[in-house]
């Protein structure tokens, strides 16, 4: 959990140096930090969050290396950060199947929509379809894991 906390607050220092405003960086770091703090280190949630952090940093670094302006990723980064927050709620409520499935669907939807923006820029409409279909199948695997856990408990 410590590495996720460190990498969740690192955007405050890193993002303003590559052209993002401090307020925007603090907002994203707050979403990431809160998502890390509320989740529990149970099951596969830390892996989801770790991969999501890698995705976020990859987009930032690759975008910067390719000379993309911050406005190119202005909608993508908050969507991925909000998805990260939803994964925190999924981890927090993992014992409550209905709530965990809801937050899992919200997590995967936010990440899919965020990456659809990038896919649309590169591939057009087929890029959106590809991103949504890919993330639908990944989300279904996540939901299967939730359903395999014990009996359902109320929200």
Read off the pTM: 0.88
Place of tokens 């809801």: 102
User: What would you measure as the largest C-alpha separation in the chain, in angstroms?
Assistant: 50
pLDDT in tens, 63-115: 888 888 888 888 999 999 999 999 999 999 988 999 999 999 999 999 999 99
Residue 150's pLDDT is 55
Q: At what angle do helices 125-148 and 97-123 cross, to 10 degrees?
A: 160
pLDDT in tens, 122-142: 888 898 898 889 889 988 998
Backbone angles phi, psi at 154, to 5 degrees: -65, 155
Q: Residue 154: pLDDT above 60?
A: no
Residue 16's pLDDT is 93
Q: Residue 43: pLDDT above 90?
A: no
C-alpha closest to that of 139 among 13, 32, 44: 44
Residue 122's pLDDT is 82
């Amino acid at each position: 959990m410590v590495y996720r906390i460190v990498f969740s607050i690192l955007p405050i220092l890193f993002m303003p140096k590559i052209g993002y405003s401090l307020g925007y960086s603090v907002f994203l770091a707050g979403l990431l930090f809160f998502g890390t703090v509320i989740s529990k280190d149970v099951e596969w949630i830390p892996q989801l969050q770790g991969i999501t952090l890698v995705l976020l940093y990859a987009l930032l670094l690759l975008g910067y290396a390719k000379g993309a302006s911050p406005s190119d990723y202005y909608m993508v980064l908050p969507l991925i950060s909000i998805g990260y927050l939803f994964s925190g709620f999924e981890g927090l409520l993992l014992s409550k199947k209905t709530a965990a499935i809801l937050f899992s669907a919200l997590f995967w939807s936010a990440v899919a929509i965020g990456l659809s923006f990038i896919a649309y820029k590169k591939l057009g409409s087929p890029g959106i379809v590809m991103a949504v279909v890919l993330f639908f199948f990944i989300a279904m695997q996540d939901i299967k894991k939730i359903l395999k856990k014990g009996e359902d408990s109320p929200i």
